[in-house]
Chain A
């Protein structure tokens, strides 16, 4: 599986990671190497099996619909790079 530079740029955009133009080609090469190695999975016949998403065969439990904690706004924003009045602050997004 060979990824080109453009695909890498579009994946980087999807996951919001800035990658410098000169780093796109080496990264394409690295990711292609990893994906080529992963390609061996194609040999496996999986036609008769269901995907496994959880190894724990536990039933989800019901619990009382009650408040466990709350009134923690200051804790919630405590680590924010920028906040005011318990709101997270970000650059203006609507002109």
Chain B
């Protein structure tokens, strides 16, 4: 239940206007968001809350405002996925193995946010090491989707891996949460929770200080309640960083400027490979509605083909675990994190990792180790990297004909937290529509566009050419406006 006159529930744009007009102080804003978090405890959205730090940051922000020094995110309360290193604040990656890890440095993305005036409210729950699509792999118990089916009161998955981030934004606990997306980890939970999620182009945001899962795929991005807010936050997060050689040195556009641009005469690609017999009718219908809304705004729909779409997910499940097995080798009970002591160093490594990692993380390290091992490297890893090129070339050809691509974000609505536990492959299929853009490094946005028959949110995805996030916002704003998605979840506390 929302509290009367609470400032929680305001959007970034509303906060910006309110602070400029002197309607409230950052101190008041932050207090209301601290109280909102107390009302939403049952969602388990945070692993660590930082109310004292938030009050401290708020008071500094109010000082800045009194001097007329407003950053682009001045005073905006933000939840940060617990995968970003925050100096002096415990950062767990939702893993037992990092339960006591307190970084001595700040990630570049969060540094950018604080530089723009944002206020840290806490570290959001997630799947362990960002591996999962439901939040059930978190060592701290899953975050819970603020939405419920109309027919029952069962706890539903917020999606993953940035499930805590999406749940907190959806419930009105924060206007902004930062997530990471490797194969869909921002877009899928955003769709499940009825909020906006953006995965920028690979290289747009620095990965420095973000705990690595699959380095050639990982990207940070915003989760917000509006397309406009996402544009403001992404601009603040982005930018070149010499400490990450894959971060790209090119100007960051003023994304906000593109929101109002017309899409008249522009071409929207509809890829036939995303249509399957198993796609629920209501999702197919919503996808059709999305195309119709674009037509009504003056855009043209173009049928396109991305022939290697079905191979994106299986090749992802070679590339991502391979990189993960290498990245997670560092958790050895020597440099940081937990240790299970043994008199043999070899045994100490194995026992530490055997007890510190959860089942899904172990599974992926095992697959990664197997596909990289002698005799299998070419057959699996190199083969998957070649398929990855074909996926990229599919998109390159498509973007010669169209300006943007429209698809559903997920092949299904959210599911019960107890479902799908037994079959890893069934869980992996959640990302079937989000993984292709990840493999090609392309920017994509999920916009909430409607409700399923059971009353749960459904999202549509827009995929743009590399470094054309501007187009995501330009088209995303039209989608948002036409869909008029305004329903709030039953656990809304703003």
List the interface of chain A (C-beta within 8 A of B).
3, 7-8, 11-19, 27, 30-31, 33-35, 37-38, 40-41, 44, 46, 49-56, 58, 60-61, 63, 72, 75-76, 78-82, 88, 90-93
Q: Which residue in B349, B354, B369, B393 is a CB contact (below 8 Å) of A11?
A: B369
Minimal beta-carbon separation of A83 from chain B (angstroms): 9
Known: A56-B202, A79-B101. A17 touches B339 (CB 8 A): no
Hey, which chain A residues are within 8 Å of B246, CB to CB? 54, 56, 58
- Is B385 among interface residues, defined by CB-CB distance under 8 A? yes
* CB–CB A79/B102 < 8 A: yes
Say whether A15 contacts B325, CB under 8 Å: yes
Cross-chain contact of A38 among B202, B314, B329, B335 (Cβ < 8 A) = B314
Which of B102, B242, B370 lies at the interface centre, i.e. has the most chain A CB atoms within 10 A of its CB?
Answer: B370
The answer for the CA separation of A63 and B315 in the assembled complex, in Å, is 35
Assembly CA distance A41 to B385 (angstroms): 11
In the complex, residue of chain A having the shortest beta-carbon distance to the beta carbon of B336: A79
Secondary structure call for the A interface: loop
Q: Do A41 and B384 touch (CB < 8 A)? A: yes
Query: B314's contact among A37, A52, A58, A91, by CB below 8 Å, is which?
Result: A37
Task: Report yes or no: A58 in contact with B335, Cβ–Cβ below 8 A.
Answer: no
- Whether the Cβ atoms of B345 and A90 lie closer than 8 Å is yes
Q: Which 6 A-B pairs have the closest CB atoms?
A: A55-B441, A18-B354, A51-B385, A79-B336, A46-B386, A81-B339
Distance (whole angstroms) from the CB of B54 to the closest CB of chain A: 24
Residues in chain B within 8 A of chain A (CB atoms): 100-102, 104-105, 202-203, 216, 242, 245-246, 248-249, 308, 310-311, 314-315, 317-318, 325, 329, 332-339, 341-351, 353-355, 357, 362-363, 365-370, 373, 380, 382-390, 392-393, 423-425, 440-441, 466
Bound-complex Cα distance A79 to B345 (A): 19
Most chain A CB within a 10 A radius of its CB, from B338, B347, B385, B466: B385
A49 touches B386 (CB 8 A): yes
CB distance from A58 to the nearest CB of B (A): 6
Point out the residues of chain A lying under 8 angstroms from B382, CB to CB.
51
Pick the contact of B392 from A31, A52, A81 — CB < 8 Å?
Answer: A52
A52-B245 CB under 8 A given contacts A11-B373, A17-B365, A91-B344 = no
A75 touches B202 (CB 8 A): no
B392 and A55 within 8 A (CB): yes
User: Is there an interface contact between B346 and A12, defined as CB atoms closer than 8 Å?
Assistant: no
Q: Which residues of B contact A80 (CB under 8 A)?
A: 334-336
The contact of B354 among A17, A37, A53, by CB within 8 Å, is A17
Task: Tell me the smallest distance from the CB of B388 to a CB of chain A, in Å.
Answer: 4
Q: Shortest distance in angstroms between B209's beta carbon and chain A's nearest beta carbon?
A: 13
How far, in angstroms, from A19 to B357 measured CA to CA in the complex? 11
Contact of B388 among A7, A37, A40, A52 (CB under 8 A): A52
**Chain A residues in 8 Å Cβ range of B423:** 33
When distances are taken between beta carbons in the complex, the residues of chain A under 8 Å from B329 are 15
In the complex, which residues of chain A have a beta carbon less than 8 angstroms from the beta carbon of B440? 55
Q: Please report the C-alpha to C-alpha distance between residue A28 and residue B189 in the assembled complex, in whole angstroms.
A: 30
Nearest residue, chain B, Cβ from A38: B314
